[in-house]
């Protein structure tokens, strides 16, 4: 779920149905909508984002496709998540996790596009692994609550730094 910031500075959650309805809007239309909702003039946003007024106008009209860096600058000027703009522009797919971390990786000029993608892939891999461990931990907790005489219970696997007890002499 994405979040927008309203005129009053409060976060407005955008539900998946609303996202789908708006998916047809171009990145330029979305930027214009956000700018108008924030009650910021094109000239003000251009100054805040560090781009020229004509260039911003061309983006809003769909004549120019902005880079990830420009989108990050525009997002900062609009006080919205850069990830929202990346998703709208097709640079990024909707992902679980910390959107600010992903946005920071994508906006880093010191990294190449391939390096950025690898970092995001590693981050997501760790998140999936941790989610699986949590799911398995819940299953282990349920198994530990099973009565000792239950033949269905199996010992939990040891942590990677632990070992199973062995008999002496073996």
Q: Return the domain boundaries, the chain.
A: 2-95
The pTM of the full predicted model, rounded to 2 decimals, is 0.46
pLDDT confidence of residue 55: 96
What is the tens place of the pLDDT at every residue in 33-77? 999 999 999 999 999 999 999 999 999 999 998 988 999 999 999
Mean pLDDT of 6-14: 53
| Whether residue 8 has pLDDT greater than 90 | no
Mean pLDDT of 115-140: 84
For residue 145, name the pLDDT band (cuts at 50, 70, 90): low
- The CATH number given to 2-95 is 1.10.260.40
- The per-residue b/e assignment along 19-46, b for 16 or more CB within 10 angstroms, e otherwise, is eeeeeeeebbebbbebbeebebebeebb
Two structure tokens written together for 99: 């959107």
pLDDT confidence of residue 105: 85
């Amino acid at each position: 779920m994405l979040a927008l910031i309203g005129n009053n500075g409060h976060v407005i959650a955008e539900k998946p149905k609303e996202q789908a309805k708006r998916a047809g809007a171009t990145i330029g239309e979305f930027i214009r909508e956000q700018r108008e909702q924030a009650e910021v003039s094109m000239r003000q946003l251009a100054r805040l984002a560090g781009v020229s007024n004509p260039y911003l106008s061309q983006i809003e009209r769909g004549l120019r496709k902005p880079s990830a860096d420009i989108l990050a600058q525009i997002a900062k000027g609009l006080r919205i998540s850069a990830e929202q703009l990346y998703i709208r522009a097709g640079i990024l797919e909707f992902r679980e996790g910390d959107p600010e971390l992903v946005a920071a990786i994508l906006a880093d000029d010191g990294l190449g596009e391939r390096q950025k993608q690898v970092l995001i892939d590693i981050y997501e891999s760790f998140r999936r692994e941790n989610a699986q461990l949590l799911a398995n931990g819940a299953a282990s907790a349920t198994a530990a609550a099973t009565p000792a005489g239950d033949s269905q219970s199996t010992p939990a696997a040891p942590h990677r730094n632990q070992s199973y007890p062995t008999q002496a002499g073996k």
